Amino acid sequence: MKAEKKMKIVKTIKINVDECNGCRACEVICSAVHAAPKYSSNNPARSRIRIIRDPLRDIYVPVLAGEYTVAECAGRDKYTIDGKEYDECSFCRASCPSREEFHEPDSGLPLKCDMCENEENGPLCVQWCLVDALVYEEREVEVDEEETQEELEIGLDALASKFGMQTIMDTVARMSNKER
């Protein structure tokens, strides 16, 4: 049977690495908006955007938390751009066992950027970035309905085998109880 098609909005944050000055305002607001209760604290360790920094080399790379991976990758890349050499993993978005970023400090569960879900004016990190290092874009694409469901199931299976379904349920319950 042919898969049903549906329209989906793809949300993107375009990152202008050259504009970022490492102020970390994006980390502050992201962790604050996801605190429970909302805005009760800010802690970059809980942020879904992290700035990979090396001030002595004038390197500041904003990275948005992407997918969770069970295992770290075996091969890594180094990039040299405009004479600056970037460390391995600098541009990687994975919530991966070999890095500290993108794990909730209490539960260890992976963090993933949610584009601030239902925030009326769009992603807050974009709004708080005063130098346009982060630019929000939207476009509409046609997708198979089945594919969307499949992606969700694969993601949940991987999480459940690593953390156990109970930890996931507890964390979801805790987060859904937070005051809005």
The binding site for ligand SF4 (CB under 6 A) comprises 20-26, 29-30, 48-49, 51, 60, 62, 64, 113-116, 123-125, 128-129, 131, 133-134
| Closer to ligand SF4 by Cβ: residue 22 or 97 | 22
Q: For ligand SF4, which is the closer residue by CB, 16 or 161?
A: 16
- Least separation in angstroms between residue 9's CB and ligand SF4 is 14
How far is Cα 163 from Cα 109, in angstroms, rounded to an integer? 7
CB of 10 vs ligand SF4, minimal distance in Å: 14
Q: Please report how close the Cβ of residue 104 comes to ligand SF4 at its closest, in angstroms.
A: 13
Nearer to ligand SF4, 24 or 103 (CB): 24
First to last CA, the chain: 43
- Within 35-136, residue ranges assigned H as helices are 124-128
Neighbours of 165 (CB within 10 A): 11
Instruction: Please report how close the Cβ of residue 14 comes to ligand SF4 at its closest, in angstroms.
Output: 11
Which CB contacts under 8 angstroms, 24+ apart, belong to 55-60? 55/22, 57/84, 58/84, 59/84, 59/86, 59/90, 60/17, 60/20, 60/21, 60/22
